[in-house]
Structure 1
Amino acid sequence: MASKEDQTFTLRLLVDREKNRVVVAEATRDFVDTLFSFLTIPLGTIIRLVSENNHHDQQPELGCINNLYRSVENSSDEVFWNPICKRMLLRPRNPHESLCKKLKLNVDDTEPTRCFMCSTKCKSDNYFLLSTFAGASCPSCGKLMDRELKLLEDSGEVGVFLKGEAMYMVFDDLKVLQNFPGNLMKELVKLGYTDFKNLSEMTKVVSLKGMLELMKRALTSNSPLSDVFLASEESKPLYTFSPKVGGKPTQIKRIKIFARKSLKKIVYAEAEEDFVDFLFSFLTTPIGSTMKLLDGNASLGCINNLYKSVKNFSSLWFMGNSNDLLLDPQVAPRFGLRTGLQLFSEQQDPIYYYGSNDAISRNPSLVKDACYMKLFEPRFSDGFKLGFVKRPSLFVVWDDLHVTPMANASSISLLQNINAPLDDLEEHVISIGKAEAINLLGASLTSKAALTEGLFSTS
């Protein structure tokens, strides 16, 4: 089987040479399926993939959510309930992993889900305990759950998101339309072309590296096809954000912030673990669910156009309910926030059945003497479902979403590093409801001053 690096797509491009821009690309269903799959990828995975695909001196900008990822990466394991919690944030699971595995070229290289049970095969109330995280300890006997189980899956239907073998048109701003002459004519006229005199054709072969670059530009540019295929000058990151103005919030959380009076700018917030859990949960959330929640209040490059294309397609063009899955992929099971501020829906736990030869399946007919298996919560502590970081804990969250655990930090050093007159700092206690929480999410993706943009702009 060919490796990802050997798998490619071939695109037919219509190019305006004078403007050095791609006007439209004709593409197969396989290519568009991969484009649409971007919506299922968690933000933490996107940050990791895009960063790994760039030189260190060319790190992509996506608001300041990168700083959240780096904060997790740089924090010691002691900050979290266990090492699994940290891994969950750095390598969150795609909620539609099983579908994306069928893509001709899947850009998400997160390790496939593996299933484990303990060597003693602990059983309770007629079900076996199952872990989808390597290195977990059995909550019943305490032994490592290191007995790996063979996962049997149905072959399923051919196709991923879109049906059939039709061709599609993908415009420079990632607007996707069915490949009808009438659609092309209308779009060309909108773009100012009344004939083909200034347009020429070219063919481009797209590899994994090209798809990763397209994903990056989809979030930061309004012309990703031109940026990638014509090596046009990299456009300035394109973001817009309009904070929602809510009424008096139904109080969910109160945090203490410190602001520069002279600049009307938040410097940092003093926060407990539940607020930090809320911020870290952004990393496990697919971009499609983020777009749904922001509902047009934030625009990231032209990923919104990809989202709108799915929304505007007839459901008849999609396999099953895959259009709904793309518009709100939800958070993968056991990766969602189970306490405090919660914005996103989490998928229900899948049901697995255990049979002979250490095989399991979601289809009981594929295993012999099927017995129900139940997933356990890797973030359990003393029997409670909690978030990712230990309780109680204190943190400083900076305006750019760098998070500093206070366990071994110096308050003297932190204040010295602010480099501002102490009498210019003032303290506020802010109540955060749903509107403020959504504003923080939008600001994290579009601004280098997320606390100021997300909390101060509407206060």
Structure 2
Amino acid sequence: MYFGLKEFLNLLKWSLFTNNPLTKLVLVGGNPCSSYVGNSTSSISPLISSNSGKTHTLKLLVQKSNKKLLCAQVKNLFVEMLFSFLTIPLGAAIHLTKDDSSPSGISNLYNSISSLGDEKCLKSKDIKTMLLYPKVAPRYRRVTDFLPIYKENTRPGLFLKEKAPFMVSNDLEIIASPSIATFSKFNTLGVPVGDMEVVEGSFGKHEALLLLKASLTSTSALTDIVNSSRKKPKVESST
């Protein structure tokens, strides 16, 4: 089998979705994002409520009949957190979010570092630490306190210019929007207005880590988290 850049990228993607990435690469190939979407967040707690620590609120536009989240109205803080996901090394993301009850190829790869280090295969303990606990690059300042990834002396910073409301789609696409009423972009599936409701949600450190995990393995990150709720959300109003 020829193994080039295309195959490497597909193997990387499969390693996030499944526990047998090599088999999937050989038998399926292609792009796992379009051919395989697992229920990767089945054990994840909801955005709807946070059990501890400081939390912030957001508004979720939900389809009542199937509890599918159409979009969310959020403030800068939430968008800053989402953008910070792009600055986190993959090894650090796996360390923060890995779930031994539902391992993936990339989590198995991460776990193998410990055994290789114990057998003296790695060049040094520093290499082992670097692979297991990689840090955010120094040029990225701390934009959120919800992710335990920054060094203590990391200076605060921002990605966005000024405060403004934003809309975030189910698959984490972000647009600037003045109001949750402006949801025409997300209403392309023909969901009746009477089948929609606005619910109030909250997020904190726990939810940030869960959303990080979902963003790596799901194309419906927000819905996956909301659907796992054990607590009925508070209905704010109907639209």
TM-score range, shorter chain: 0.7 to 0.9
Distance in 2, matches of 1:265 and 1:325, equals 39
Secondary structure (helix, strand or coil) at the match of 1:270 reads strand
Which of 199, 212, 232 is 1:428 aligned to? 199
1:313 maps to 2:116: yes
1:303 maps to 2:106: yes
Shift of 1:328: 1.6
Distance in 2, matches of 1:314 and 1:325, equals 12
1:237 maps to 2:36: yes
Classify 1:325/1:222 alpha carbon distance in 2 versus 1 (closer, same or farther; 3 Å): same
Greater strand fraction, Structure 1 or Structure 2:
1
Distance in 2, matches of 1:412 and 1:309, equals 45
Classify 1:405/1:307 alpha carbon distance in 2 versus 1 (closer, same or farther; 3 Å): same
TM-score if structure 2 supplies the norm length? 0.75
Distance in 2, matches of 1:298 and 1:237, equals 20
TM-score if structure 1 supplies the norm length? 0.42
* 1:252 partner amino acid: T
- Equivalent in the alignment of 2:11: 214
Distance in 2, matches of 1:433 and 1:243, equals 14
Classify 1:397/1:208 alpha carbon distance in 2 versus 1 (closer, same or farther; 3 Å): closer
Count, aligned residues:
220
Secondary structure (helix, strand or coil) at the match of 1:396 reads strand
Identical counterparts, % of pairs: 31
- Equivalent in the alignment of 1:276: 79
Which of 162, 165, 184 is 1:391 aligned to? 162
Distance in 2, matches of 1:418 and 1:273, equals 27
Shift of 1:348: 7.7
**Residues 194-273 of structure 1 mapped to structure 2, 5 A cutoff:** 207-208=4-5, 210-226=7-23, 231-234=26-29, 237=36, 239=38, 240-241=40-41, 242-244=43-45, 248-273=51-76
Shift of 1:394: 1.6
Distance in 2, matches of 1:448 and 1:269, equals 15
Classify 1:277/1:215 alpha carbon distance in 2 versus 1 (closer, same or farther; 3 Å): same
Distance in 2, matches of 1:403 and 1:295, equals 26
Classify 1:411/1:232 alpha carbon distance in 2 versus 1 (closer, same or farther; 3 Å): closer
- Equivalent in the alignment of 1:406: 177
Pair member with larger Rg: 1
Secondary structure (helix, strand or coil) at the match of 2:172 reads coil
Higher relative contact order (CA 8 A, sep 6+): 2
Unaligned stretches of 5+ in structure 1? 1-203, 351-376, 378-384
Distance in 2, matches of 1:349 and 1:314, equals 29
- 8 Å Cα contact 1:257-1:429 kept in structure 2: yes
Unaligned stretches of 5+ in structure 2? 232-239
